[in-house]
């Protein structure tokens, strides 16, 4: 039985707090954009943008980043990942990019995402926002905005479900 | 006491169309020649025989369950010697023949140098006499160097031993030259064998032309390339009165043309090969170079027409067109790959499938693989007549085996039949005064 | 974790004939991502670092070789161009010898072009590396068909239901053959136009209509795909002269007007202006000939990516 870590209300409250933190740290939305990592990070980035709009009354650009081509595990995987769309229809050079992902684990995806971003432009600064930080870092990566820290064992995975895809919002812990 | 092979073969099913024999009986060989044969209704219970056996060293073989046939005659093989000894030699080619039940082969002239003169003919015959496991007869070239430009010295080659003439592998494109060959050869009464292919229509082609060649992107050879040429040569035979033999008929149109010519009383005979009545072009799929052969494998419709032609007597002969090649000549681009199938060691069981299907009787089969080719080439073989040299095959029609090209006696392992499960195999072949046990231990001594 | 992708069934791409609809769609979908990469300032991704791609060309070709080379370089592979001139053939090195040499050099992907049909299939059987057919004889040129389909989709949204006329020397065109298989699989209505001497009987299945007149065949076409008249193959007179050919089968502005308004005009290049296509048509807004070239790189990147990720089922 998977254990519910956050239900939809919890998730909403957490994202609201994260939006406030992003705005607080960056003193508003000037020069700010959000880039979600395919696929969970993209949903989260859109949610954050909505919250920011409801707080600040201003739109913040949201992009989607696919990191398949930048992964470091291609040769040890059983299969190559599907290549999904990278859709960042705005200039990121000189901007503050808040990289958004649903779960922060080893940090390897974030390394790949930063490399991918750098090939697209030269941001003034990259910040990292994640809904869940489950530990077990393999690279020196630290998130600037964390929804919830959830210590896990390696045998567990954390799954974040968004209503856009799964029909409801929740975060569950799955033991393998 | 006679020194040569002395053998009594008992209780076998003897078939010899030359004498109209078809039944259980005994065959006595003395000093390498057929001394007596007899068909009986009942099997011998004892070792008694009506035959007067004076030879105390007589070996007696129990051939019950076996066919006893005249040694098969293949009027279309390539022995590759001289010049292409890396593909095959007279020694290995004739060993392959014996393994396949053939005691006589006629070799085509496309050697290096071409057998277009008596010196080459004599070389081959001398070598075959010394090293050949079976009897070898030569077919001389129609034109010098098989170039299709001027007639070769047919008369001198005939004197040296050639039994037919052919530019096999190349058509004689010049109609006038083919007319001359058919006219001139009448002096010697030997057939001119036509490799029927219109070189213009077949140019660049590597397989049968049709939906499959388009699908594979391989250039096609239309059936018309063969039919056009067969029809031309038939007209020339009618014009000249020469004896025409059509090699390796592969098409329905070819069968039809020969059938009509025979009906019109024109002196034409025809052969086909086991691969043409067994396989279709489908085998080429996957660019299988072992299925590359000239003329190419055709369609189901052609296969059916060939079987009809065999059944109604339009096609007189089944020959192998045994064409051994080196592995490197097949392990390459399909366009570049050599054409041909190493056929001697699979021909007989493939022919037996025709008997099983009811296309031919056993007797028809022996006619087409022994008697007819011998008659067409004027060779005194293909028969179990008393007094004839003992060319005999003991065939087990039920013995099943898997074709393993690596186990071939031929140096050419180029066969599309590798891995096929076939039925019917010679267990012993008597030829040139000795008995070859093909399937060791299968010959039962009494 | 990144989601696992779909896979191609085989380690090689030797022909469209051997690909399923799903596989073709997978390649085309994947190519979208690479087209975006090619639109950036930095047109290179580190994906296939450490892999070696060998361009093994037995036939001269600048376009296809360059396109594959660029695709491989954009993926950060090391590319070796191995042009086999007649000299090696004269020296007696067999095809298999050459292929084994390439394997020993450590190739992960071998891209082969050869004048004999079936050579990629032969190499695919003998090599552990993935083999991509870059054109074999008069058989197939699968990546060209894939980039054409990609271009048609980009222009028309989808391929299904489109009426696509392929014009010219179908008989000798591996591009045409791959396109016929590809477009039929994707659900297009394919028609062939050209002289009977250049349209082989075997391709004519009941779903493919053949026209010998441009005026009839072009009617209401959504896409007009012109083929190159291969002058070197015309030695045995498939048509009398190029002048007559252009008169009867050349694509002119007047003839193009018979197709649907704004119909897409394609050509795999290199073009013979004034033989199969009029210059003003080739340079018109309806022509996507240069887009085809750009998309070729994206599609070839997709193919290289998918084959590099191929793992045997067991």
Task: Examine the domain organization and report whether C166 and C91 are in the same domain.
Answer: no
Question: CA–CA separation, A50 vs A16, rounded Å?
Answer: 9
Q: Which two tokens stand for residue B176?
A: 């006038």
Catalytic residue among C52, C64, C185, C264: C64
In a domain, C10, yes or no: no
Q: Where are the domains of chain A?
A: 3-175
Burial classification of residue B62, based on how many CB atoms lie within 10 Å of its CB (0-12 exposed, 13-18 middle, 19 or more buried): middle
DSSP per residue over B217-231, as a string? Answer: TPPEE-HHHHHHHHH
Residue span of the structural domain in which B177 resides: 71-377
Q: Is the model's pLDDT at B322 over the cut of 90?
A: yes
In a domain, B258, yes or no: yes
User: What is the pLDDT at residue A92?
Assistant: 96
- The topology under which CATH files domain A3-175 is Rossmann fold (3.40.50)
User: What is the pLDDT at residue C2?
Assistant: 42
pLDDT class for C281, splitting at 50, 70, 90?
Answer: very high
- Stretch C15-36: mean pLDDT, rounded? 95
For B197-242, what is each residue's pLDDT tens digit? Answer: 999 999 999 999 999 999 999 999 999 999 999 999 999 999 999 9
Q: What is the CATH number of the domain that holds C274?
A: 3.40.50.1370
Residues of B in contact with C236 (CB under 8 A): 203
Q: Is the model's pLDDT at A176 over the cut of 90?
A: no
User: What is the pLDDT at residue B1?
Assistant: 42
Task: Examine the domain organization and report whether C148 and C285 are in the same domain.
Answer: yes
What contacts B338, CB < 8 A, 6 or more positions away?
B292, B323, B325, B329, B330, B414
Mean pLDDT of chain A: 93
- Decide which of C201 and C34 is more confident: C34
Task: Examine the domain organization and report whether C157 and C257 are in the same domain.
Answer: yes
For B53-72, what is each residue's pLDDT tens digit? Answer: 565 677 889 999 999 999 99
User: What is the pLDDT at residue B46?
Assistant: 45
For B403-438, what is each residue's pLDDT tens digit? Answer: 999 999 999 999 999 999 999 999 999 999 999 998
Task: Examine the domain organization and report whether C302 and C255 are in the same domain.
Answer: no
Considering its fold, how many domains does chain B have in total? 1
Task: Examine the domain organization and report whether C170 and C185 are in the same domain.
Answer: yes
For C65-86, what is each residue's pLDDT tens digit? Answer: 999 999 999 999 999 998 876 5
Residue span of the structural domain in which C49 resides: 16-141+294-308
Considering its fold, how many domains does chain C have in total? 2
Task: Examine the domain organization and report whether C161 and C280 are in the same domain.
Answer: yes
Q: Is the model's pLDDT at C141 over the cut of 90?
A: yes
Segment 203-232 of chain C within 8 Å of chain B by CB: 203
Place of tokens 């971003």: A117
**3-class SS at A107?**
coil
**3-class SS at C154?**
helix
In a domain, C5, yes or no: no
Task: Examine the domain organization and report whether C137 and C73 are in the same domain.
Answer: yes
Answer for the pair B367, B22: CB distance below 8 angstroms, yes or no: no
Task: Examine the domain organization and report whether C54 and C171 are in the same domain.
Answer: no
C305, A115: Cβ pair inside 8 Å? no
Q: Is the model's pLDDT at C313 over the cut of 80?
A: no
- Stretch B341-369: mean pLDDT, rounded? 98
Q: How many CB pairs under 8 A join B and C?
A: 60
Question: CA–CA separation, C202 vs B281, rounded Å?
Answer: 14
In a domain, B443, yes or no: no
Q: Is B226 left (phi over 0), alpha (psi -120 to 50) or beta?
A: alpha
In a domain, C68, yes or no: yes
User: What is the pLDDT at residue C62?
Assistant: 87
- Stretch C211-236: mean pLDDT, rounded? 88
pLDDT class for A79, splitting at 50, 70, 90?
Answer: confident
Interchain contact C/B (3 or more Cβ pairs less than 8 Å): yes
User: What is the pLDDT at residue A1?
Assistant: 58
**3-class SS at B52?**
coil
Q: Is the model's pLDDT at B52 over the cut of 60?
A: no
Q: Is the model's pLDDT at B44 over the cut of 90?
A: no
In a domain, C9, yes or no: no
Overall pTM surpassing 0.95 (yes/no): no
User: What is the pLDDT at residue C230?
Assistant: 80
Note whether C17 contacts B: Cβ–Cβ < 8 A.
yes
In a domain, B41, yes or no: no
Q: Give the sign of the dihedral formed by CA B397, CA B400, CA B403, CA B404.
A: negative
In a domain, B42, yes or no: no
Is C91 noted as a catalytic residue in this protein? Answer: yes
Q: Is the model's pLDDT at B42 over the cut of 70?
A: no
pLDDT class for C93, splitting at 50, 70, 90?
Answer: confident
For A87-125, what is each residue's pLDDT tens digit? Answer: 999 999 999 999 999 999 999 999 999 999 999 999 999
User: Residue A40, Cβ neighbours under 10 Å: how many?
Assistant: 21
End-to-end CA distance of chain B: give it in Å, rounded.
Answer: 21
pLDDT class for B45, splitting at 50, 70, 90?
Answer: very low
In a domain, B353, yes or no: yes
In a domain, C2, yes or no: no
In a domain, B49, yes or no: no
Q: What is the CATH number of the domain that holds B327?
A: 3.20.20.140
Residues of A in contact with C42 (CB under 8 A): 119-120
Task: Examine the domain organization and report whether C162 and C287 are in the same domain.
Answer: yes
pLDDT class for B106, splitting at 50, 70, 90?
Answer: very high
pLDDT class for B445, splitting at 50, 70, 90?
Answer: low
Residues of C in contact with B219 (CB under 8 A): 138
Mutate to test the interface with C, among B201, B205, B210, B214 (most CBs of C within 10 A): B214
In a domain, B57, yes or no: no
Task: Examine the domain organization and report whether C155 and C34 are in the same domain.
Answer: no
What is the gyration radius of the CA atoms in chain B, in angstroms?
Answer: 21
Catalytic residue among B26, B302, B321, B391: B321
Q: Please count the residues of chain A.
A: 176
């Amino acid at each position: 039985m998977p254990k519910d870590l956050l239900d939809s209300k919890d998730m909403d409250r957490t994202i609201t707090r994260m939006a406030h933190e992003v705005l607080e740290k960056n003193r508003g939305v000037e020069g700010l954009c959000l880039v979600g990592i395919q696929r969970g990070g993209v949903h989260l980035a859109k949610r954050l943008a909505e919250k920011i709009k409801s707080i600040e009354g201003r739109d913040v650009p949201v992009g989607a980043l696919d990191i398949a081509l930048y992964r470091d595990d291609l040769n040890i995987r059983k299969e190559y990942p599907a290549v999904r769309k990278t859709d960042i229809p705005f200039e990121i050079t000189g901007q503050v990019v808040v990289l958004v992902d649903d779960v922060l684990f080893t940090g390897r995806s974030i390394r790949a995402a930063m490399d991918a971003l750098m090939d697209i432009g030269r941001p003034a600064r990259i910040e990292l926002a994640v809904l869940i930080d489950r530990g077990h870092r393999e690279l020196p990566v630290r998130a600037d905005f964390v929804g919830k820290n959830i210590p896990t064992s390696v045998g567990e995975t954390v799954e974040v479900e968004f209503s856009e895809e799964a029909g409801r919002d929740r975060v569950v812990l799955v033991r393998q | 006491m006679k020194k040569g092979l002395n053998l009594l073969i008992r209780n076998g099913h003897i078939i010899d169309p030359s004498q109209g024999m078809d039944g259980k009986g005994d065959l006595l060989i003395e000093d390498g020649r057929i001394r007596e044969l007899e068909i009986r209704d009942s099997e011998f219970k004892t070792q008694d025989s009506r035959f007067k056996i004076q030879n105390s060293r007589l070996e007696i073989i129990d051939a019950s369950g076996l066919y006893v046939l005249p040694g098969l005659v293949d009027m279309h093989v390539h022995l590759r010697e001289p010049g292409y000894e890396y593909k095959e030699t007279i020694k290995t080619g004739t060993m392959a023949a014996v393994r396949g039940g053939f005691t006589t082969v006629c070799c085509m002239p496309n050697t290096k140098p071409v057998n277009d003169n008596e010196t080459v003919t004599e070389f081959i015959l001398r070598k075959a006499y010394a090293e050949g496991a079976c009897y070898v007869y030569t077919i001389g070239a129609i034109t010098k160097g098989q170039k299709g430009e001027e007639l070769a010295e047919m008369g001198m080659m005939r004197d040296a031993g050639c039994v037919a003439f052919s530019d096999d592998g190349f058509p004689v494109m010049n109609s006038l030259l083919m007319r001359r060959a058919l006219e001139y050869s009448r002096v010697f009464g030997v057939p001119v064998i036509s490799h029927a292919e219109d070189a213009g229509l077949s140019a660049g082609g590597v397989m049968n032309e049709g939906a499959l060649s388009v699908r594979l992107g391989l250039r096609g050879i239309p059936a018309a390339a063969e039919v056009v040429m067969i029809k031309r040569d038939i007209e020339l035979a009618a014009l000249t009165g020469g004896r025409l033999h059509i090699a390796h008929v592969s098409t329905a149109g070819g069968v039809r043309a020969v059938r009509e010519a025979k009906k019109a009383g024109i002196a034409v005979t025809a052969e086909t090969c086991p691969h043409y009545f067994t396989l279709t072009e489908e085998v080429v799929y996957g660019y299988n170079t072992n299925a590359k052969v000239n003329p190419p494998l055709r369609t189901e419709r052609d296969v059916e027409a060939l079987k009809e032609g065999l059944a109604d007597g339009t096609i007189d002969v089944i020959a192998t067109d045994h064409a051994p090649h080196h592995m490197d000549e097949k392990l390459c681009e399909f366009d570049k790959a050599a054409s041909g199938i190493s056929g001697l060691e699979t021909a007989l069981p493939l022919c037996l499938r025709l008997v099983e299907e009811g296309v031919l009787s056993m007797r028809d089969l022996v006619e087409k693989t022994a008697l007819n080719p011998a008659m067409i080439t004027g060779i005194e073989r293909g028969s179990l007549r008393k007094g004839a040299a003992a060319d005999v095959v003991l065939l087990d029609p039920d013995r099943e085996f898997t074709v393993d090209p690596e186990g071939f006696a031929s140096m050419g392992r180029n066969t599309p039949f590798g891995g096929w499960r076939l039925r019917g195999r010679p267990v012993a072949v008597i030829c040139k005064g000795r008995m070859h046990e093909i399937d060791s231990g299968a010959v039962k001594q009494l | 974790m990144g989601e696992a992708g779909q896979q191609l069934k085989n380690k090689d791409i030797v022909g469209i004939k051997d690909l399923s609809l799903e596989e073709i769609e997978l390649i085309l979908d994947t190519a979208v991502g690479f087209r975006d990469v090619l639109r950036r300032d930095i047109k290179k991704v580190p994906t296939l670092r450490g892999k070696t791609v060998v361009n093994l060309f037995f036939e001269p070709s600048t376009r296809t070789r360059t396109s594959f080379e660029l695709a491989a370089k954009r993926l950060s592979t090391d590319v070796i161009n191995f042009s086999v001139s007649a000299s090696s053939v004269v020296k007696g090195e067999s095809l298999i010898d050459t292929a084994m040499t390439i394997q020993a050099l450590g190739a992960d992907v071998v891209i082969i072009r050869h004048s004999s049909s079936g050579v990629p299939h032969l190499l695919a059987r003998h090599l552990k590396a993935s083999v991509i057919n870059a054109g074999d004889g008069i058989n197939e040129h699968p990546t060209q068909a894939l980039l054409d389909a990609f271009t048609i989709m980009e222009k028309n949204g989808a391929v299904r239901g489109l009426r696509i006329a392929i014009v010219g020397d179908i008989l000798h065109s591996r591009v045409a053959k791959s396109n016929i298989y590809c477009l039929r699989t994707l659900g297009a209505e394919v028609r062939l136009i050209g002289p009977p001497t250049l349209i082989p009987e075997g391709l004519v299945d009941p779903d493919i209509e053949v026209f010998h007149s441009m005026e009839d065949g072009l009617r209401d076409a959504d896409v007009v795909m012109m083929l190159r008249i291969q002058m070197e193959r015309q030695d045995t007179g498939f048509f009398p002269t190029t002048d007559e050919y252009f008169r009867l089968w050349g694509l002119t502005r007047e003839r193009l007007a018979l197709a649907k308004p704004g119909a897409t005009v394609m050509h795999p290049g290199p073009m013979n202006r004034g033989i199969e296509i009029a210059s003003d048509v080739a340079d018109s807004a309806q022509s996507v000939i240069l887009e085809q070239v750009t998309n070729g790189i994206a599609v070839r990147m997709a193919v290289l990516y998918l084959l590099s990720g191929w793992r045997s089922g067991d």
